């Protein structure tokens, strides 16, 4: 499963509708062409009833835009499925998975990202979790990405459950567990608790680190543009030495314009030197996150 250069560009809500923003689809295509990510991580969340021919701005449909985004970037989409049994019981996860695999996209979806996997293991048990992963691979997915280690929405540390050697990418939160001072740069040191545990439990998997949504990204914003740039500049060169790839947060917006929780647009933060945070991320990605 590719994953050296990974970007989060999410622009659709859970119904496959375009989220109003300050950018057009052509803007997002320009970013993807410039960044050239291997993986477009969680480009969209699970669709209860996706309509690929639903029109969005600039003359695109949902389907044609997803195709074009993959084409210009040379990367693959990894759609998100929430596997928390309270949201989607395992049989419904498999049904959703099948719908995603059947989407007439070019290229076809090959990789899937599972969110809230610790909730699945905690509520349904390790046997059910293992069976679900095996069934997903049996459906035809070439790789499964699993978020298994980090903090919950309250900032409380969540232990990492096993993936039984079945996950190709394992995702952990870059922020240190249980830190409460958002504007304290020490809270954004590499999360060695999760990183080391995941490496030991998943020796064959690629490690990905991210700033989770919505809680951690809202906390991250409190550092301010220059503070955020400093943390990202610290993370970038650590990736190769510490054996993980960082998920670069480009844009993720919620459907309701007045809902600021978890809203993120890297182009809207301007440093004292006049650069946007997007420009900082772009330069760091191209230098420290080699494609391939």
Nearest to 195 by CA among 254, 235, 143: 235
The SS3 call for residue 26 is helix
| Per-residue pLDDT, 71 | 96
The SS3 call for residue 197 is helix
At the second CATH level, the architecture of 6-288 is Alpha-Beta Barrel (3.20)
Q: What is the pLDDT along the chain (292 residues), one digit of tens a residue?
A: 766 899 999 888 766 778 767 889 999 999 999 999 999 999 887 655 567 888 999 999 989 999 999 999 999 999 999 999 998 899 999 999 999 999 999 999 999 999 989 899 999 999 999 999 999 999 999 999 998 776 554 555 566 788 999 999 988 887 765 555 676 777 776 677 777 877 888 888 899 998 888 778 888 898 999 999 999 999 999 998 888 999 999 998 765 545 555 689 999 999 999 999 999 999 999 999 998 7
| Per-residue pLDDT, 81 | 92
| Per-residue pLDDT, 148 | 78
User: How far apart are alpha carbons 56 and 17 in whole angstroms?
Assistant: 8
| Domain residue ranges of the chain, discontinuous segments joined by + | 6-288
| Per-residue pLDDT, 4 | 87
Q: Do residues 231 and 238 touch, judged by C-beta distance below 8 A?
A: no
Nearest to 73 by CA among 233, 276, 250: 250
């Amino acid at each position: 499963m590719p994953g050296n250069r990974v970007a989060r560009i999410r622009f659709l809500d859970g119904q496959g509708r375009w989220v109003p923003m300050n950018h057009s689809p052509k803007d997002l295509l320009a970013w993807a062409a410039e960044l050239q990510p291997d993986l477009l991580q969680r480009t969209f969340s699970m669709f209860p009833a996706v309509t690929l021919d639903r029109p969005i701005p600039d003359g695109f449909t949902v389907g044609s835009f997803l195709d074009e985004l993959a084409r210009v970037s040379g990367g693959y989409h990894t759609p998100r499925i929430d596997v928390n049994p309270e949201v989607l019981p395992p049989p419904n996860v498999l049904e959703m998975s099948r719908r995603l695999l059947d989407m007439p996209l070019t290229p076809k979806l090959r990789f899937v990202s599972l969110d809230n996997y610790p909730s699945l293991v905690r509520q349904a048990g390790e046997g059910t979790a293992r069976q679900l992963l095996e069934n997903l691979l049996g459906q035809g997915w070439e790789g499964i990405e699993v978020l298994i280690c980090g903090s919950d929405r309250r900032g409380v540390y969540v232990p990492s459950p096993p993936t039984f050697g079945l996950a190709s990418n394992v995702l952990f939160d870059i922020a240190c567990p249980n830190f409460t001072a958002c504007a304290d740069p020490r809270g954004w040191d590499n999360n060695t608790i999760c990183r080391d545990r995941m490496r030991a439990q998943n020796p064959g998997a690629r490690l990905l680190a991210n700033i989770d949504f919505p809680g951690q990204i809202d906390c991250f914003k409190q550092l301010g543009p220059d503070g955020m740039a400093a943390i990202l500049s610290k993370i970038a060169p650590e990736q190769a030495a510490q054996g993980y790839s960082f998920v670069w947060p480009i844009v993720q917006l919620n459907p309701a314009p007045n809902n600021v929780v978890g809203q993120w647009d890297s182009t809207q933060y301007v440093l004292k030197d006049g650069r946007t945070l997007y420009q900082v991320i772009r330069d760091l990605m191209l230098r420290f996150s080699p494609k391939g």
